[in-house]
Amino acid sequence: MPRKWVILTSCGVLALSAPQLAAAQSAAPVNEIADGNEIIVTASKRAEKLQDVPTAITAVSGEKIEALGIRDFRDYASLVPGLSQRDSGAPGTGTIILRGLNSGAQQTSNTSAVYIDETPFSPSGFLSVGALLTPSPELAEVERIEVLKGPQGTLYGASNLGGLVRIITKKPDASRFFGTASAEVSSVSHGEMGFLVRGSVNVPIVQDQLALTATGYYRRAGGFADNVTTGTNDVNRSNLYGGRVSLRYQPTPDFTFDLSGIYQNIENEGYAFQRLVPGTFQAAFGRYDYASYADLGADIKYRIVNTNAEYRLGFGTLTASGSYARYKTNIETDATNPYIALGRTVLGPLAVPVFGVPIDTLLPANSVARFQASPNMEKWTGEVRLASDRMGAFEFMIGGFYTDEDSIYYTTVFVHDAQGNLRPAPRDALVKATTTSRYKELAGFGNMTFYLTDTLDITGGLRYAHNKQVAGTGGPGGITYYLPRTPLTFNFSDNSLSYLATLRWRPAPNISAYLRAASGYRPGGPQTNPTPPPGAQTFVRPDTVWNYEAGVKGSVLDGGLSFDISAFRIEWKDIQLNSLVNGIILQGNAASAVVDGFELQLTARPSDLLTVNVSAGHTSARLKAIDPTASSVTGAQAGNKLPLTPSWTTAILVDHQIPFSTSVSGNVGATLRFQSDMPSNYPAVTPVGQRKIPEITTVDLRASATFNERFTAQVRVDNLFDKLGFTNIGVDSTVIRPRTITAGLSAKF
């Protein structure tokens, strides 16, 4: 049997043996928590009440996702204090930013991670180029989304310096047959119509033991941005389609085996861009107009398979999980502005003596360039862990983790003539580079909690990991693509320790306060720039963080008011601050930063029919020090704010239920979102320099009616006042979606 399949089949072996093992154990039922206002999360890899977990977490329920019409990451990020994104203008692209931890436009590896159930979907390898992508699965049949703030290294491993996002899907139910179907149509101001069709069915195969759930969907997001060069209107339309299949086998109350698979494609035909007059926020052509010599977009494909088996022992729960994840991408943008002028500058002095032709023949000034980035990854992951029940004064968790990650990254800058025709080889490209990476990690982790009293406990955690990387570069390199480049192979290995310490005090059953200190790391790797300047690093060290946090959470007034308040300080050292030198990424450890902030979440229930949610966050993320060479390239100085991190974010949600009759109920609601201004980048990173992205305030409205608890009609108006908002500034700047009116119907059967 191939070695990789052991990860998945080991869970199958556990599935076959566990019923017999479980039968031999004395029945030990899982503690049940019955309170309709309580949210149960598994952020600590145990089922716990949200208010008992000693770390800052935002949980968005599946019901809230449906009620708000949340489509993708950008929709729910604005509801979570401390969560933002380097938005690239197309669903599935961009970089997740938690608590301000990002290093700018040239960041290539993640500082925050995404899990889908037990599958770590984000890559960990230094050269996996995961920072180009924000996983954006269709949020169909989702139980909840958990956003864990601060490093989670002891339980979740590498590359979650700022935290991680967990998408928890609904599991099959073997007790009954049921399904859902829904359809939506939407109209985008300044743009076109869109639609969604989605269906799900749950089928018991063996009553109360074995069930299957299948979900399928197709979403067409209407475009609104126009390409003035090609004359294409609404060019940023996108199509998202796919499905998920889940199987659950539960022959006894103490044993559960889950098998699931996800298939999804995202086809973005363009980008949500607007061209601005340099140095201003005045439209260069018109609102939602930009210029690209061709209609270029981004295609992304996800494939995920996960197995998970757990069974109850007499003293705890044993869990084994195996996952396979793959993505294939093709991202294309107009690169004329940065590359043609640079190519003429670099190649000009070499043109006649080396190539025998003038630069105007080699690379005419009216040439256009197309940047194509294709990061692809295949990842196998396995984990086994044992979580004990409370044993008198203590409880523990211990586990092992393994991942094997293969990635390949194709980068090409094609050269076309003024009419868009590809120039003849070998003058068809300025850059042709291929980077391969094999990343393996083996880790062991554990934590132990001591209950000093009935209300006071302390937890310590540790994770030791060894990672090994083999990387290769090939193809002509850089602007001087005409000159041969010898393929190179690099080997790199590293060991890391991650730590956790928490002190929790529960003065009342519904209130807890905590202190938390945790560390995290992001793997380093080899320098792959083919022509690094003198003094450049041959190998890039891991960067690390320490997060110090204090918080209080709970509920009072018989559940009428819930709160979660936290304050934190993060120290980020050896930042992997990449820069662009002659069109090629140069990697290096070049800076340190400090992030201070606080986050607030309140839920008030003045009556059984009215709910008010308030979330707010303040983040001050600044460079503490920066290497002089990196400073000269990026223009950044000590004291500068880290890019794309707003100082203030606020979201207020109000929902009022209306019981029309015993068979008809309604709901009306509104959401206000505010995001303060923030720097777009470091001053010298882009041709337009550093710009301050203006603050954004938007209002959404929604109303729904449900009949006989089966049929629901809903109307939503997002961005009610049709505000023009920017999320990233560049040659073409990324904008938020204009006013969108959506009408939908759903049915349960």
3-state secondary structure of 722: coil
Give the dihedral of Cα atoms 520, 522, 523, 528; nearest 10 deg. Answer: -160
The DSSP symbol for 170 reads P
Spatial CB neighbours of 421, under 8 Å, sequence gap ≥ 6: none
Question: pLDDT tens digits, residue range 616-662?
Answer: 999 999 999 998 888 887 888 999 999 999 999 999 999 999 999 99
Short-list 112, 130, 105, 161, CA closest to 578 = 105
Spatial CB neighbours of 24, under 8 Å, sequence gap ≥ 6: none
* Token output for 646: 């707003």
- The beta strands (E) that lie in 427-510 are given as 429-451, 456-474, 488-508
Contact call for residues 427 and 343 (beta carbons, < 8 A) = no
Please state, in angstroms and rounded to a whole number, the distance separating the CA atoms of residues 716 and 162: 33
Q: Can you give the pLDDT at residue 538?
A: 82
3-state secondary structure of 712: strand
What is the length of the chain? Answer: 749
Contact call for residues 685 and 631 (beta carbons, < 8 A) = no
AA letter at 64: K
Residue in this structure with the two tokens 């989304």, named with its chain if needed: 145
3-state secondary structure of 560: coil
Question: pLDDT tens digits, residue range 159-212?
Answer: 789 999 999 999 999 999 999 999 999 999 999 999 999 999 999 999 999 999
Q: Can you give the pLDDT at residue 24?
A: 39
Please state, in angstroms and rounded to a whole number, the distance separating the CA atoms of residues 50 and 70: 22
Other beta carbons within 10 angstroms of residue 131's beta carbon come to 26
CA–CA–CA angle 294, 298, 303 (5° rounding): 155
What secondary structure does DSSP assign to 657-695, as a single string? EEE-SSSEEEEEEEEEEEE--EE-S-TTSSTT---EEPP
Question: CATH assignment of 5-334+367-560, given 3.90.1660.10, 2.40.170.20, 3.30.1490.190, 3.40.50.720?
Answer: 2.40.170.20
What is the end-to-end Cα distance of the chain in Å, rounded? 43
Q: Can you give the pLDDT at residue 21?
A: 39
3-state secondary structure of 630: helix
Q: Can you give the pLDDT at residue 583?
A: 61
Q: Which element (helix H / strand E) includes 634?
A: helix 628-634
Average pLDDT per 10 consecutive residues for the chain, totaling 749 residues? 48 44 35 48 89 93 90 87 90 92 83 93 86 88 94 86 94 98 98 98 98 98 97 98 98 97 97 94 96 96 97 95 96 90 80 79 90 94 96 96 94 90 83 89 96 97 95 65 67 93 96 97 84 78 96 94 97 88 75 97 96 97 90 87 94 97 97 95 69 95 97 98 94 95 97
Cis peptide leading into residue 29 (ω within 30°): no
**What pTM, to 2 d.p., does this model score?**
0.90
3-state secondary structure of 13: helix
Handedness of CA 730, 731, 734, 735 (dihedral sign): positive
Please state, in angstroms and rounded to a whole number, the distance separating the CA atoms of residues 706 and 748: 11
The DSSP symbol for 206 reads E
> If DSSP states are collapsed to H, E and C, what string results for 74-142?
HHHHCCCCCEEEECCCCCCECEEEECCCCCCCCCCCCCEEEEECCEECCCCCCCCCHHHECCCCCCCCE
Short-list 729, 736, 732, 629, CA closest to 105 = 729
Contact call for residues 93 and 740 (beta carbons, < 8 A) = no
> If DSSP states are collapsed to H, E and C, what string results for 589-621?
EEEEEEEEEEEEEEEEEEECCEEEEEEEEEEEE
What secondary structure does DSSP assign to 331-399, as a single string? EEEE-HHHHHHHHHHHHGGGIIIIISS-HHHHS-TT-EEEEEEEEEEEEEEEEEEEEEPPBTTEEEEEE
